[in-house]
Structure 1
Amino acid sequence: MRVVWFGGGLGNQMFQYGLYCFLKKNNQEVKADCTQYSTTPMNNGFELERLFNLDIAHANLDVISKLTGGNRLSPRKVIWKLFRKPKVYFEEKIPFSFDPDVLKGNNRYLKGYWQNMNYLEPCAKELRDVFTFPAFSSDNNKRLADEIAKVEAVGVHFRRGDFLKSSNLGLFGGICSDQYYLRAIQTMENTVVEPVFYVFCDDPQWAKNSFSDARFTVIDWNIGSNSYRDMQLMSLCKHNIIANSTFSWWAAWLNRNPNRTVIAPERMVNRDLDFSGIFPNDWIRLQG
């Protein structure tokens, strides 16, 4: 049996579910460990089952304890670390890379984010089908979805919020700079006939202050537990400019326009890593 750890916000959960599907595709028995959300407040909690019609098997606490050694202070944990951990506990070694070793061994606990196309591609059709959002209920979103369908809509995503915290700036800051967005918008204007830009941001007041040009419509009403509606609306746009964020990455990947243009940053975090595995080959990557 494989147990996949789930943690982080919606975009991360979707990548982890991608691994879950990849393992099932390779005839593995797979269960999910979502206990992180009951012990640690995290964004909007575990959203996958609330938003999508997913059949996720959850590992019980006894199984999780056997694969993780249980309480970190227990004598059992010491024995587990010495003798069992190398056999059953598998943590992602290199972010954004593909590791075929996830398929090796018998009972294993898999912890990581698994942000690589090689996990997703074998399950691409299934993932696009199951990641179908609930129908819009608010008049604002219904109106905007109708408007987006009639124009060459470009969804532009800005991630601020937690990325601006001092503890996160070193890892996430400076990647999607003003220069990145200026070049991305210029590229869209040179590529798309009469583009109409829709701005999505977790700091909508900043966005409204920054984009007063009539070409840009700022979406400011999907907040809190409804923030996933921004991902849904961005996925309906014909083209996307994404941030170094899995939230807008998934919006672009779920975009079904066969002629879409997607612009992404060159890297997702400020580390010396190979990011080619997370970006589809037809996406345009620009420096910040």
Structure 2
Amino acid sequence: MVLLKKAAFSSKIYYSVGILFVIVISIVVTTRIQKFNPVRYPFPIHSKNQSVLTQSISQQINITCIVYVVNSGGRLGNHMFMVASAYGLARLHSCHLYFTPAITDEMKLIFIFDLSHFLISTTTFNSIMHNLPKQMTKESRSITCQYIPELMRPNAISSGRLFELQGYWQSYLHFHTYRDELQNRLFVARRLVIERVSKFFINIYRRKFKFKPHFSLDNHQLFKNQLAQSKWITWIGIHVRRADFLLTNYSSSDEYLLSSIEYYKKRYSNAHFIVASDDKRYCRNLFRHRPNIFVTPVSFSNGDDLIALSLCQHSIVTGGTFGWWTGYLASGEVIHDKAYPSGCERDEYYYPSWFIIPGQIRAHNNSNYTV
């Protein structure tokens, strides 16, 4: 009987120690989770406590100003201009960034889109907007391809400002200072996109040279460098926007495309061309007798086409923002058809200086411009 009582007493002690141990571990784990993960508020915020909570959120992540985009017209190229312009202004003025889930989801289908140090969540943004702290004011600016130099001055977007971009911000001057960051952090292809595009390039090497190169696909820039180092090929990207431009007479002529190709063939004896277009049947017919010109597959998405052209060393582009970005991200020489009306007040707001190549290549049958 005595032994049984001792055993029962010992069991109670072990049980109590076990419970205490579990409590201590729970406290430690909870503390670590709170330390390394920001507080999120997935539940509705009651109006009674909203002002206090909003102030707490902004103070917690040290929000002084926000540059944001909630509406963006057009398609991928226009959206990239809006994202890049917002990023440039946020970086310049040390502000946080906000994009709607629709915009970030579109970007992340193609790009790594690393904005971890700048982007705030939809929950945080909505909390601030729905009950604006007294020290913060909102401002919206809607433009169409203009350059706003006063926004580049110190404190143009000062502490306490919520600055919204609306319209079509298509001047590269708002973000060009941070071009390296755009190319190496934001508009960097996801691995899945690189894998699809790499198969297209590898098939060309197989067909042309009976050789299968082994590319590293872990890094966008590394893959691009490996393509550029090939002794056999200098890659030239060609973007042809045609379908909707036929109705507005903005489509580039065959003469413009063929003359631009001849320019690069004379400049680079090993020039080979990658063509992406919204009218691939037209392109295949136009270039059907040219063995050094390859049209991207119909199965390619817009993102695949953009990345394929951005991996080239030099570019030929027609009108529109999609083609503009292929040339800008490729970072080489760019021949651009200036017959396209950019809508900017001055051409230099839209066309970087390296977009116009001196020579006698006529930009368009009905244009006085030559490039």
C-alpha distance after superposition, 1:44-76 (max 9, x if no partner): x95212222223435455766789xxxxxxxxx
CA distance in 1, matches of 2:178, 2:295: 32
Matched, 1:159 2:218: no
2:97 alignment partner in structure 1: 30
Which one of the candidate residues 104, 107, 114 is aligned to 2:162? 107
User: How many Å separate the matches in 2 of 1:249 and 1:287?
Assistant: 15
Query: Which one of the candidate residues 95, 102, 106 is aligned to 1:47?
Result: 106
Asked if the contact 2:342–2:350 (Cα under 8 Å) also holds between the matched residues in 1, the reply is no
CA distance in 2, matches of 1:99, 1:112: 17
TM superposition shift of 1:6: 4.6
Checking the alignment, whether the CA contact within 8 Å between 2:316 and 2:335 is kept in structure 1 is yes
Contact 1:18–1:123 (Cα < 8 Å) also in 2 = no
User: What SS does the aligned partner of 1:23 have?
Assistant: helix
Q: 8 Å contact 2:145–2:344 — kept in the other structure?
A: no
CA contact (8 A) 1:34 1:58 kept: no
- Taking structure 2 as the reference length, the TM-score comes to 0.58
Q: Secondary structure at the match of 2:318?
A: coil
Superposed displacement of residue 127, structure 1: 0.5
Q: State which structure, 1 or 2, has the greater radius of gyration over its C-alpha atoms.
A: 2
**Residue 57 (structure 1) aligned to one of 120, 129, 134:** 120
Correspondence 1:190-269 to 2 at 5 A: 190-223=266-299, 226-256=301-331, 260-266=332-338, 268-269=340-341
Return the offset for 1:121: 1.7
- Tell which has more relative contact order, 1 or 2 (C-alpha 8 A, sep 6+): 1
The Cα of 1:158 is off from its aligned counterpart by 0.5
Aligned in 2, Cα 1:193/1:98: closer, same or farther, shift over 3 Å? farther
Aligned AA for 1:23? L
> What is the aligned counterpart of 1:17 among 83, 90, 101?
83
3-state DSSP of counterpart to 2:202: helix
The match for 2:347 is 275
In the alignment, the residues of structure 2 paired with residue 232 and residue 182 of structure 1 have an alpha-carbon distance, to the nearest angstrom, of: 23
Q: Does 1:119 align with 2:174?
A: yes
Q: 1:91 aligns with which of 142, 147, 153?
A: 142
Q: How many residues align?
A: 251
Distance change (3 Å), C-alpha of 1:271 and 1:53: closer
Instruction: Name the amino acid aligned to 2:94.
Output: N
Q: Is residue 345 of structure 2 the alignment partner of residue 287 of structure 1?
A: no
CA change 1:183–1:98 in 2 (3 A) is farther
C-alpha distance after superposition, 1:251-274 (max 9, x if no partner): 222225xxx321112254265742
In structure 2, what residue type is equivalent to 1:133? Answer: A
Contact 2:142 2:168 survives alignment (8 Å)? no
- Structure 1 residues 53 and 272, CA gap change in structure 2 (3 angstroms): closer
CA separation of 1:142/1:155 partners in 2, compared to 1, >3 Å: closer, same or farther? closer
Distance in 2 (CA, whole Å) between partners of 1:4 and 1:97 is: 17
Q: TM-score, normalised by structure 1?
A: 0.73
Structure 1 residue 144 displacement after superposition: 4.9
Letter aligned with residue 231 of structure 1? L
Secondary structure (helix, strand or coil) at the match of 1:282 reads helix
In the aligned structure 2, how far is the partner of 1:119 from the partner of 1:186?
34
When structure 1 is superposed on structure 2, of 18-27 and 3-12 the one drifting more is 3-12
> Paired residue for 1:143, among 199, 202, 227?
202
For 2:120, give the aligned amino acid.
A
Structure 2: distance between partners of 1:272 and 1:238: 27
Amino acid at match of 2:189: F
- State which of 182, 189, 201 in structure 2 corresponds to 1:133: 189
Distance 1:153 1:281 in 2: 21
